Structure formats: C-alpha cells, structure tokens
Structure 1
Amino acid sequence: METEALSMAQELDFSLLALFAKATFVVKLVMIGLLVMSFWSWAIIIQKHILFRRARAEADAFDRAFWSGEPLDELYERIGPEPASAPEKVFAAGMLEWRRSHRADGGLIANASQRIDRAMDVAISRESEKLNARLSFLATTGSTAPFIGLFGTVWGIKYSFEQIAISQNTSLAVVAPGIAEALLATGMGLIAAIPAVVFYNKLNSDAEHVIGGHEAFADEFATILSRQLDA
C-alpha cells in the first residue's frame, strides 16, 4: 500500500505552474495579487534607483557651478525661469525671493532673510515629496505580503483537509499536492516582501541623503545672502 502511494506521489507534477493550476480560486487570487505586488515593487525600485543616481549627478554638477566663482545673478539668469534640477530649483527659489525683497529705491524689505529661508524650504519640501513618492508602497508590500501569503496557505491547507475528509484517504498522494500548493502562497509572499523591505530601507536612506544635501546647500546659500544683508 505504501509502495503504491509513493508511486502515485512520484507521478504528480510539482512544478510551479502545475501547483498554481491546481490551487483553489482563492489561493490563485492570493498568488496573482502577490505577483502584481512584486512586479510593481521592482518597477518602483528600478525607477527610484535611476532617479537617485540622476539626482546625485545633478547635485554635483550644480555644486561645481555654484562654487565656481560665477556671480550669483549671472548663474540665476543662466538657469532661467524654469530650473531643470532640484538644486537649481532651490537656488532659484532663494534668488527669486531675494530679488523680490528689494524695493524700487534699492533698499530691502524687512524680514527678507526669513522669507528667503521659507521659499527655499518650500522648494525642498516639493522635491522631497517627489523623491519619497511611492516608497510607501514598498513599505506596505514588505509588511503585508507575508501575511497575505500566509492567508493563502491557511486557506489551501483548509481545502486540503476537506478533500482528505471527503476522500477518507490520508495517503501521501492525497496530502502532498494540497500542502505544496498552499505553501507556494507563503513562498510567494516572502519573495515579494524581502526585496521590498531591503530596498525600502536603502531607498529611504538615499532620499534622506539627497534631501540633506539640499538642506545643507540652502543653509550655505542663506548664510551668503545674510552677509550681503548685513553689509
């Protein structure tokens, strides 16, 4: 009897596609949902990697231009009214408020320094939102995917036990396929969650590094303008 059961088990197809095809409707929905979450997570990871690499390159290029000794007014005119990179937008926001703070007679309107700081803070906040956009999806995937997969496993095992009770047969050939199908859902949940958690932490750290660079530049630029205000 055991030899016959083992022979039947060896004839079963345990490939991923076969296990998916044999799974119940609910477990299939769980697997498809996890597959979509994993695919979208990788799309975000790749897009953010490209975005942060470009942001670092733009910051380096602007730093070279800013500290090259070129007059700030000429640099502002060269950048134009529609800056392309994030550092240029922060710089342009400060310069625009600096120019608006001058009266027609050449004097400065009161509290110019505070307005310049706020203008650059708003520009930094906007760039921060762009950098952090969709990172919350990675955090959500990392925290929920294992539980979604576990739900599919529990549902699949429940169905397997029901089939065992109906067939009144506890042989390996009856038990093994259902358990394997159910565990596949947990495996897919982990496959979706692990990269999402790892890259969320990395990308969040990269975003903080880039934003910190913008804030450091804003402080330096505000210091330069403050000296001119005092003069």
Structure 2
Amino acid sequence: MTTQNVETTLHITNLISQASPVVQLVMLLLFLASIYSWYVIAKLSMGFKKATRQDDHFQKMFWSGAETNTLYNNAQLNSERRGLEDIFYEGYSEYLKLKKRQASIQQKIDGTERILRVGLSRDQGTLESGLNGLASIGSVAPYVGLFGTVWGIMNAFIGLAGVEQVTLATVAPGIAEALIATAIGLFAAIPAVLAFNHFTAKSEAVYSDRALFAEEMVALLQRQSMGSSQESE
C-alpha cells in the first residue's frame, strides 16, 4: 500500500463511510444530539435575554410610583405577559379576591404569598425548559461515543485475525474510525455541559431576583392593607 493510498484511506470522510453500521449509527445519533444541544443553547440564550429584559422593564414600572391597580389592569390586557409581570398579576389577583371576601390581613398575605410561590415555580420551569436535555447529552454522549469506539476496535481486531502480517497501515484505519466516535461524543458533550452550568447559574440569579421582588411586593401589600384597615377604623 502506497503512502498516497494510506492518506486517502485515513481521510475522515472515508473513515466514517467505511465504518461498521453500528459505529455509523452511533455517530449519527451523536451528531443529532449535538445539533439538538446547540438548538437548546440558542433557545435558552434568547429566552434568558428576553426574560431579563422584561423583568427589568416591569421592575422599573413597578418602582416608578405607578399604582398597583394600573399595573394590574395593564397586565390583564397583556395576553403574552411573562416573568415578573405574570407573577405580579397572579399574586395581585389573589389579593383582590381575598380582599373582596373581606379576609383578614394575615389571610390576604398568606394567600398572596402562596400564589406568588406557585407563579415563581411555574415561570421558572418554563424558563429552564431544555436544561434537562443538555444535562442528559453532557453525561451520556461520551459513553455512547466510547461504545462506538469499543465496537469499532473490536471489529478492527477481528478483521486483523485473518491477516498474516500486521503493519501500521492495516491497523491505523480501523483504530482511527473507531476513535472518531469518541471524538464526536466529546464534541456533543462538552458544549452541552458548559451550557448547562452557564444557564443553571443564570436561572438561579433570575429566580433570586424574582423571589426578592415577590417578598417586596408582599411587604408593600401588607403595608397597604394595614393602612386601609387603620383608615376604616
């Protein structure tokens, strides 16, 4: 076998096309997993940017001195409310319902807090949609690639059993095509793991900001309730 033929055989496209069906299937699955992970990464990136922008905008309006009833009416008209606006709307809706029933201050505050916690969890779950997929790809892809490598090396050695003289030129193609599976597995796993860690940290930061806003909102409503109660007396 000439040097030119060896180089041609060891070209990555030829190694993939000459790999066994099992190894090719592994490579295809890992390639699809990599495409999916990049889709999720792009989706999460846009989702977090949009959520942060919307939350900042609503907080500016909330603390600008606008009436809570005005903010509530605006949120009610917005069918696409998300994040803090949606959490505020759900919490204030419950507060108004309890106020209409003439519940005590403590009942109104407890009910509002409960609904705010539910809203926080629901919106956070929507924001984090896709993180579990990244975690699965990051943890499983290297092992899937390793399986393809082991299978490829096994087939390579089985093929060498009938060869009288084993040289580097006969061993290299089989080993190389097997190792491609591990390389693709790492190519799929590394970005997924990095993205998972990055977006998990961002998710915790967003949740902390929203939870702090919910606490401040409850404190504001409590002060308003106490003020209204004193006026009625």
- TM-score of Structure 1 vs Structure 2, range by shorter chain: over 0.9
Residues 1-231 of structure 1: pairs in structure 2 closer than 5 A? 7=3, 10-80=6-76, 82=79, 84-103=81-100, 107-109=102-104, 111-231=107-227
Aligned-partner SS, 1:12:
helix
CA contact (8 A) 1:154 1:182 kept: yes
Compute the displacement of 1:83 (Å).
5.3
Cα RMSD between the aligned structures? Answer: 1.6
Aligned length: 225
Q: Which sections of structure 1, spanning at least 5 residues, go unmatched? A: none
Quote the sequence identity (%). Answer: 36
CA contact (8 A) 1:83 1:92 kept: no
CA contact (8 A) 1:9 1:172 kept: no
Compute the displacement of 1:16 (Å).
2.1
What do the CA deviations read for 1:77-101 (whole angstroms, capped 9, x no partner)? 1222545121111111111011101
Compute the displacement of 1:134 (Å).
1.5
TM-score, length-normalised on structure 2? 0.91
CA contact (8 A) 1:153 1:183 kept: yes
Compute the displacement of 1:116 (Å).
0.3
| Paired AA for residue 114 in structure 1 | D
What do the CA deviations read for 1:44-82 (whole angstroms, capped 9, x no partner)? 000100000000000110011101111111111122254
